[in-house]
Amino acid sequence: MSEPLIQLQGICKSFGDTRIYHDLNLDIFPGETLVIMGGSGSGKSTLLRVLMGQLKIDAGNVLIRGRTLDEMNRGELDSWRKSVGVLFQSGALFNSMTLRENLALPVREHTDLDDETIDLMVQIYLQLVGLREHIDKLPAELSGGMKKRGGLARALMMQPRILFYDEPTAGLDPVSTAQIDELIMNLKNKMGATSVVVTHDMQSAFKLADRLALLFDGKFAAVGSVEEFRTTTNPLVRQFVDGRLEGPFVNPSDQCSYKAQLLGRKINEVPHGQKTT
């Protein structure tokens, strides 16, 4: 296999007392589509922010083509960010700007192309995601799925070779989901882009992925090909893939003792509360 494009080495990160990552390791290779799965609140989306250098980690290294994010200066970090297209969960379109202005912004900021050329590019990319007739609408006038597609078009404007998708299909109807999946597949096949997709939509995950990684309890519990994920006997992966209730996989919120908390409150706090009423 070729040299990894992105390497995560021993990443640790906590927010206050909440531990998000504990010794996280992963290699991402050029041209592959890696799908990262995990429960809600397991730090999937946060991982994309770590990769973009937007969130400081407590320990470990993020290496981009062999260089750590920490040793990069401002210019290097900017050129790394410019080479990546990010689709945010909500689309993250700028609400004060029309779709046209949203798409034009990164190109206007980073290139010397004239306005006509930029406008042509905007129309091409909006056509690609099927939003050309909405070009002069503000994000508030678009549906959730349209915002996501708009966000995708904007992420593509700088013609990135690397794409990060944060839950690209969450909250969309099956047809829109299929459309987005199709777009992602096309981008991969036509542009040879490296993609990192964060999702918990199993159907999309199996359709898109070259490799899958399951994030659990601050680590990657399993990393492997689609075939390996389908046939594995790893109980954690099985539970997640099959969507079963019983198993080692629990929601982070279920981890602390619910009963103890309820009882504790009953003994300590209720009488106190009654006094005040």
Please report, as ranges, the residues that interact with other proteins according to CB under 8 A: 49, 52, 54, 77-79, 81-82, 84, 86, 88-90, 92-96, 105-106, 108-112, 151, 158
Residue closer to other proteins, measured from CB, 13 or 211? 13
Strands 6-15 and 18-28: antiparallel
Alpha helices in the chain (DSSP H): 44-51, 74-82, 99-110, 115-128, 144-156, 174-191, 202-208, 226-231, 235-242, 258-268, 270-276
Compute the least distance from the CB of residue 77 to other proteins, in Å.
Answer: 8
Minimum separation from the CB atom of position 55 to other proteins (A): 10
Amino acid letter at 178?
Answer: A
User: In whole angstroms, how close is the CB of 108 to other proteins at the nearest point?
Assistant: 6
Say which amino acid occupies 129: V
Residue 25 or residue 40: which is nearer to other proteins going by CB?
A: 40
**Of 64, 27, 24, which is closest to residue 46 (Cα–Cα)?**
24
DSSP for residue 2:
-
Shortest spacing between CB 78 and other proteins, in angstroms: 4
Minimal distance in Å, beta carbon 107 to other proteins?
A: 10
Nearer to other proteins, 106 or 145 (CB): 106
Instruction: Please give the distance of CA 57 from its chain centroid, rounded to a whole number.
Output: 17
**Residue among 78 and 269 whose Cβ is closer to other proteins:** 78
Classify strands 219-225 and 6-15 as parallel, antiparallel or unpaired. Answer: unpaired
Distance of alpha carbon 172 from the chain centroid: 16
Helix axis angle, 115-128 relative to 99-110, nearest 10°? 130
Alpha carbon 207 to its chain's center: 17
Beta bridge partners of 28: 6
Q: How far is the CB of 92 from other proteins (least distance, A)?
A: 4
Burial environment of residue 126 by CB neighbours within 10 A (0 to 12, 13 to 18, 19 or more): buried
Residue 45 or 234 having the CB closest to other proteins: 45
Q: How far is the CB of 87 from other proteins (least distance, A)?
A: 10
93 or 214: whose CB is closer to other proteins? 93
Q: Which is nearer to other proteins, 73 or 233 (CB)?
A: 73
